Structure 1
Amino acid sequence: MTTQDSDIALLTSSAYKVSHAAEGDWYLANILKEDQLLQEALKERGITSVRVDWADPEVDWESFKCVVFRTTWDYFERFREFTLWLNRVEKLTRLCNDISLIRWNMDKHYLKDLENRGIPVVDSLMIEKESTLDLRSLLEESGWTEGVIKPCVSGAARHTYRVNRESAAEIEKFIRPLLSGESFILQPFLPEIMTTGEDTLMVIGGEVTHAVRKVAKEGDFRVQDDHGGTVHEYKPLQEQVQLAVKAMDACNPEPVYGRVDMVRNLEGEWVVMELELIEPELWMRTHPEAAEVFAEALSKFMEGAPQSR
């Protein structure tokens, strides 16, 4: 068993555990820069930290005061293993964000909970595991000309498809076999994704620290950089800031940090597309001051103090 002489474990995955990025590997360089900014801010507060692969069987989790989810970006591909790991580690140390938030946020059914708590979200139809799938009928019944279908547990646009009534039968061929083991979510396709993009607001310690706009490459609807999307600095509107804070306020317990992705719906209203509380990319490299806010929030979390509004 490997013990760590650090206060905080910053969780990553084996693919990103290295300490240096190869020349030209901007993706890994960004990951390392983000963690470096946070580690430096923590150090200024007398808090030590180390990057740790969540799946490393040799780690002594009891040696940490808390663990912070950062780039565990393989959890949805290793969902059963990750869930078992959570069950074990929650008994050994504190998890940030709280374990109840992690479990809740892993499955996109949480969007229905947010809606029931008064948060405007993208319209969503849940297609439960082992259910019968008729995409064309679902689109017709909903009144949507086009939709987007994706797994309820997912990331990086895994098994995400744009579908209309003409392509429904073809898309069903890909989805039906997967329904034997997981649930899916169907949402209306929002044209603004392709014309304007998706806005992302970072909420840390109860405050919106900064925002970015994610833009899909021409002809695509997926804004993730895995699919050619780009990220741009963005000053959020006040109504967006209010929605982001309201969405985080609807969580119980209050998240220490997270990300609220939003877009305008078909009626032109701002709605939450995703609430990222597990391993959100925070783009602190575009706003280094956010690392200071994050470090301060983690310091208060470790002391057991409530987060400020």
Structure 2
Amino acid sequence: MHYDVVVLTDHKLLQLNDGDWYSKQVHTEDQLVCTALEKLGLKVGRKDWAEPGYDWQQCRSAVFRSTWDYFHRFAEFSTWLAQVGQCTRLFNEAGLIHWNIDKHYLGVLAERGINIVPTVYVERGDARSLAHVVADTGWDELILKPVISGAARHTYRFAAGDSEQHECVFGELTGQEAMMLQPFQHAILEQGELSLMVIDGQYTHAIRKTAKAGDFRVQDDHGGTVHRFEPDAEEILFAEAAVAAVPFDVLYARVDLIRDNDGQLAIMELEMIEPELFFRFCPEAADKLAAGIARRLA
């Protein structure tokens, strides 16, 4: 079947499970996007990105929404992205996805004048011990995570004096992939993390994510909660400027930011691959996304 737009998900989320709140939430959000696209006269489907045997030349474009298994199947996803990107228009585009997958992009944003949480990269094969790298930073409390990750995979919080407890896992990880260290941001515990949605260059809506008691991970996979949030003008301008600094056409982005340990707005991450965009808090943002797709296809 030929489509103008295919909304991409993963195989576990393709079918609705009425007994599971998470499945219902995903389908609600994806349906808002499908309906917004259909209102513009576009023929829309919803598929597992890795559906065996599907001919991607049958759709004009595909938009990433809930492909949340891609970082567990990274080699397969990379091959798929290269192949499908040659015959189908992708939103966001393949070049941006490759750029955004690897958190070295934070360094590019910093070079372009966007304040980020301070970051030290440890490249694959680096022979230094974790204690050595930590001592060079001078930070008292740190976060260690891979540069390619998601859902807090291999994310560790530790005090500088406890580096030895993580030496084995650090050695194993750096033998396989690049890692990054950042100073722990205490505002996460007190204020949570802000996520501002920027669609087609403009702010649409925002949420605040807070961790459960005793944790620092704000993702709902780890018990975090989500609340509607009204950002001030400074936060909106900061989020839009961060997206404008990206060297690609950005249809949609979720700008995750905090007040850093110096009290300044700082980017935690720019999520531009398959971010949850919380359309349930602002359904009209799905209409803005659809309008951006339709304009690009025209």
TM-score scaled by length of structure 2 = 0.97
- How far 1:180 moved relative to its partner? 1.6
Q: 1:22 aligns with which of 3, 14, 18?
A: 18
In the alignment, does 2:27 pair up with 1:32? yes
Alignment partner, residue 306 of structure 1: none
Partners of 2:131 and 2:24 lie apart in 1 by 43
1:9 to 6, 18, 21: 6
1:93 corresponds in structure 2 to: 88
* CA contact 2:70–2:77 (8 Å) conserved in 1: yes
Give the secondary structure class of the aligned counterpart of 1:58: coil
Distance in structure 1 (CA, Å) of the matches to 2:228 and 2:82: 38
Letter of the 1:97 partner, please give it: N
1:198 and 1:135 map into 2 onto residues whose CA distance is: 27
Secondary structure of 2:121's partner? strand
Q: CA RMSD in A?
A: 1.1
Instruction: Give the Cα separation in 1 of the matches to 2:116 and 2:278.
Output: 23
CA distance in 2: counterparts of 1:52 and 1:94, whole angstroms: 15
Partner of residue 193, structure 1: 188
In the alignment of these two chains, the number of paired residues is 298
Secondary structure, aligned partner of 1:119: coil
Q: Distance in 1 between matches of 2:92 and 2:106?
A: 18
Question: How far apart are the structure 2 equivalents of 1:184 and 1:216?
Answer: 23
CA contact 2:82–2:94 (8 Å) conserved in 1? no
Residue 218 of structure 1: SS of its match in structure 2? coil
| 1:274 paired to 2:269 | yes
Moved over 3 A (4+): none
Distance 1:172 1:53 in 2: 38
Aligned to 1:291: 286
Question: What is the CA-CA distance between 1:133 and the residue it aligns to?
Answer: 3.9
Matches within 5 A, 1:64-103: 64-103=59-98
The one-letter amino acid paired with 1:48 is: K
Q: 1:87-107 CA distances to partner (integer Å, 9 max, x unpaired)?
A: 111111111111110110000
Q: Which residue of 1 aligns with 2:58?
A: 63
8 Å Cα contact 1:202/1:209 also seen in 2? yes
- Greater alpha carbon shift after TM alignment, 49-58 vs 226-235: 49-58
Structure 1 counterpart of 2:267, one-letter code = V
Secondary structure of 1:69's match?
strand
Contact 1:13 1:53 in 2 (8 A): yes
Q: Following TM superposition, by how much is the alpha carbon of 1:234 offset from its aligned partner in structure 2, in angstroms? A: 0.2
Match of 1:51 among 46, 49, 54: 46
Whole-angstrom CA distance in 2 between matches of 1:215 and 1:38: 26
1:228-268 residue CA offsets vs partner (Å, 9 max, x unmatched): 00000000121111111111111122201111000111110
Equivalent residue letter for 2:256: D
Q: Distance in 1 between matches of 2:100 and 2:278?
A: 20
The Cα of 1:172 is off from its aligned counterpart by 2.0
Q: How many Å separate the matches in 2 of 1:147 and 1:66?
A: 41
Unaligned runs of 5+ in 1: 304-309
Q: How does 1:173-192 map to 2 (within 5 A)?
A: 173-192=168-187
Query: Could you tell me the TM-score, scaled by structure 1's length?
Result: 0.94
Give the CA deviation at 1:54: 1.0
Q: Distance in 2 between matches of 1:135 and 1:208?
A: 39
Matched, 1:111 2:106: yes
Could you give the per-residue CA deviations for residues 198-226 of structure 1, whole angstroms, max 9, x where no partner exists?
00000001110000000000111100011
Give the 3-state SS of the residue equivalent to 1:155 in structure 2: coil
Q: Distance in 2 between matches of 1:267 and 1:79?
A: 36
5+ residue gaps, structure 2: none
CA contact (8 A) 2:129 2:171 kept: no
1:83 Cα deviation after fit: 0.6
CA distance in 2 between partners of 1:252 and 1:21 (Å): 39
CA contact 2:8–2:46 (8 Å) conserved in 1: yes
Letter of the aligned partner of 2:13 in structure 1?
A: Y
